[in-house]
Structure formats: structure tokens, C-alpha cells
Structure 1
């Protein structure tokens, strides 16, 4: 089944977790992805929160698969900052392979952040954000 951002924003946390668990890691992406934060999944606030975050905070990520790095597109200008290492490893959610976006060695600001992504459709990834080992939010990346 092909998914889109609107479908993800309408899902509950359980549905997002089930989709992540049932999806393959996929290949490490390359290029620019439009990002959407998924906060308070399955509530009437999810879409509004995502819109505000896209306008003022985070718009997505730019991957360099050959270097195994990415930069986040942040602030209203889409400034490329906050670097992460990118590699495959076991997910903290289910122990299966995922693509890890690791900020521990590359960012003072995001040192405790770890993202995990899996491919849920052509050029479309679902992600989980962790602070230390605590889950924070979900997000999507559309290439």
C-alpha cells in the first residue's frame, strides 16, 4: 500500500508503530527530503502542529549517502545545519534493521538525539525520534 503524509497524520501512535515494525529499512537515501513532524498522532491537533513546525522549525533533511551524513533543514529559511551520521543498525523499537540518524558525535545541540527511519513507500520514510532512549515523536521524509 502506498502512503502519503495526510494518511500518516491521521494515524494513531499504535498504527504508526505497527507500520514502522512491518516496514523494511530500505536503502540509505540520498538527496533532499521534505519532512513532516508527527506530534500527538491521531488527534485533531496533529496536522496543525506539523504545519507550524514546517513553517518555523524543521523542514526536512539533506542526505549524502556516500559520506554517510545528513544535515537538517531548519528555521524559516531552510538553513542546513545539525549534522548526523547515517548508518544501518538495529532499531530500539523492535530490534530489526533500520537506518539510524545519529547525532551523538556530530552535534552539541542534538547530542542525545537518535532518529530511526524505515521505507514505507517509494522514496517515502517513516521515522522515530529518541532523546537518549526515550521516544519523543514520529516524522516522515518524502524524497
Structure 2
């Protein structure tokens, strides 16, 4: 049986707990984002199959493009926070400098963004979670509006 990674976290290792919490929130955001995509597809289908304004089909599809981008970002960040949690659990602290070096080499961040502490990175990831939830809520609103206008 595989050991739970949380069992190996020392009680004084706040970075590991932060990383685990954010990874969990990002996992949830993936499901929320997928729900938003489903709502967008449902709205488009409803708008095309009924005499509803075409904008009701177009708007959710445009929002779905943003939602797809957010899903990609959420998936990447979830993996990174999983790795940070594992490193912090095992070594006592995450290697943020190595992560920054890798992200700079990939061209994903500029050197001026390197060196941010884990809590600041966590807040940035949580903005992605909130944006994904807001888009999913908008998609649901479009779906309900399309049903009402049918």
C-alpha cells in the first residue's frame, strides 16, 4: 500500500502544507473548468437547435477558449505545486530557485519574477482557481438564459 504524502509532512513545514492546499484547489479548478466547457457546448447546441439569438451561441464559445487556456494553466500549476509539496515534504523546503530557473529557461517567466516566496505564488494560483469558477458560472448563466429564451 502506498503511503499518503501528507503523513510525511512535519508539522512545522508550512510550505509543504501551502503547496498541498493549492494543489488540491487546482485539482478542483480543473473540474470546474471542465464543467464550464460542458456548459458552453450545451449552450451552443441549444442556441443552434432553437430559434435563439446567435450571440447566445457565440459568447459561450468565446469564453470556452479562455476557459481552455485556464485549464492548461491550472493543469501545469497543479503539477508544479504537487512537485513543490513533495520537495517540501521530503527536504523541508521547496526548491523555488530551481523552479524559477526552469521557468525562465522555458520562457514562461521573466527573470524579474524569479525569487517570489511560496505564499505569493499560491495567491497567484488561487487567482486562476477563482477565474475558472467565474467563467464556469458565466457559462452556466448563458446556458440557463438560452433555456429561458427557447
Q: RCO (CA 8 Å, sep 6+): is it higher in 1 or 2? A: 2
TM-score (norm 2): 0.25
Structure whose CA Rg is larger? 2
More strand by share: 1
